[in-house]
């Protein structure tokens, strides 16, 4: 019988877990009995979400960290190990976008997007990967990327580049760490309907353009992404590595 029962008692670190997709993923893991630590920069958001997680599983906590700073990543992983004892699953969910025409993107814009979406993802994976290898943990690393790793879109030059790089990073780490039984995969959502994106969709032209590209005819929900993450974290995906699951309603199938 297939189930997510094997997630019970797993130790899960979710980078960017206080809001939106990350929060939904964190709550789902906690509901399945996993111990969860969420990280992010805003301590108020972290503590609010951590209190919700603790209502489902008392073995949950939060750590403030900025993954564009390597010292923060080192302390984040060290603190997570001290709190939980080990890390079985890493979810790299932190990400940003600065929507600008390519001709207007500044060096600072580019660095901010790439430092979070690609550099941060790599160094979080590196730190947790070392922990897993040293402790001989057959772990799971799951990167939240985007359909825009596979298609182009206006005002997304830096974002598309960062997410495309994260897909290739997923493959590279999967191959390199396969002998350690660490599975590295990614989930690539389309636009997600959340409180954080509602304002963006007030632009009728933008909304209509997005909807015209999704054959299933609706925006994704955070739970659509969470289902893919739970699958990859579970024993059902133990022979899957280096893959990216597109949760895009068919956008990239056209």
Enzyme catalytic residues: 159
Is residue 195 within 8 Å of 150, Cβ to Cβ? no
For the record, the structure tokens of 243 come out as: 């893959």
Between CA 42 and CA 66 the distance in angstroms is 9
For the record, the structure tokens of 178 come out as: 């396969």
Instruction: Give the number of C-alpha atoms closer than 13 A to the C-alpha of residue 11, restricted to the C-beta side.
Output: 17
Between CA 184 and CA 232 the distance in angstroms is 9
Between CA 148 and CA 160 the distance in angstroms is 5
List the strands of the sheet with 244-247, edge to edge. 60-64, 35-40, 11-15, 89-92, 140-144, 183-189, 244-247
CA 226, distance to chain mean position in Å, is: 10
DSSP 126-147: HHHHHHHHHTT---EEEEE--G
Torsion sign (Cα): 110, 115, 116, 119 = positive
């Amino acid at each position: 019988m297939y189930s997510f029962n094997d997630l019970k008692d797993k130790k899960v670190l979710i980078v960017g877990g206080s809001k939106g997709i990350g929060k939904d993923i964190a709550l789902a893991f906690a509901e399945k009995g996993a111990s969860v630590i969420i990280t992010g920069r805003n301590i108020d958001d972290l503590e609010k979400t951590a209190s919700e997680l603790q209502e489902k599983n008392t073995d949950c906590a939060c750590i403030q960290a900025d993954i564009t700073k390597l010292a923060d990543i080192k302390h984040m992983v060290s603190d997570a190990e001290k709190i939980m004892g080990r890390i079985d699953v890493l979810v790299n969910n932190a990400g940003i976008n600065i929507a600008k025409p390519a001709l207007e993107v500044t060096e600072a814009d580019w660095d901010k997007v790439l430092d979070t979406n690609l550099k941060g993802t790599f160094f979080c994976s590196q730190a947790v990967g070392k922990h897993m290898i040293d402790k001989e943990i057959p772990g799971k690393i799951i990167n939240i990327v985007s359909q825009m790793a596979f298609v182009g879109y206006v005002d997304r030059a830096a974002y598309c580049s960062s997410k495309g790089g994260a897909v290739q990073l997923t493959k590279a780490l999967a191959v390199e760490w396969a002998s350690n039984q660490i599975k590295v995969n990614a989930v690539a959502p389309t636009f997600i309907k959340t409180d954080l994106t509602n304002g963006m969709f007030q632009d009728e032209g933008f909304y209509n353009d997005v909807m015209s590209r999704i054959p299933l005819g609706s925006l994704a929900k955070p739970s659509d992404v969470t289902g893919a993450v739970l699958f990859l974290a579970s024993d059902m995906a133990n022979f899957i590595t280096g893959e990216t699951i597109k949760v895009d309603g068919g956008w990239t199938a056209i």
